[in-house]
Amino acid sequence: MPPAEPSVDSQSAELDDFLALAMHELKSAVRQIIAEAAWLDARIADDPALETLREVVRDVRGQADLVAALVEFASPSGRAMVQSGPELG
């Protein structure tokens, strides 16, 4: 007898768990980069590399916004909204 197929609910729960873990790891990395860049910024006030560092921080914050959007999309409520489509008024 072949093994039973996992239910859609259990697959969805596993996917939700995976996405939550992946998003947490991404957000942790982004927070660390921003913290280290702020630390460097405080120590190299007159260095020509400061503007490059600030550009990196802006880019990383943009990536943080993207991660936040992915987290929202990956959440059950975000997927339900996409699946049902926008309400037309």
Residue holding tokens 């998003």?
Answer: 23
- CB distance 41 to 50 below 8 Å: yes
- The closest alpha carbon to 66, from 19, 18, 22, 27, belongs to 27
Phi and psi at residue 48, in whole multiples of 5°? -60, -20
Q: Does residue 10 surpass a pLDDT of 50?
A: yes
Is the pTM higher than 0.85? Answer: no
Residue holding tokens 């914050």?
Answer: 61
Q: What is the mean pLDDT of residues 35-46?
A: 79
Q: What is the mean pLDDT of residues 33-48?
A: 79
Q: What confidence tens digit (pLDDT) does each residue in 44-89 have?
A: 777 777 888 888 888 888 888 887 887 777 776 665 544 444 443 3
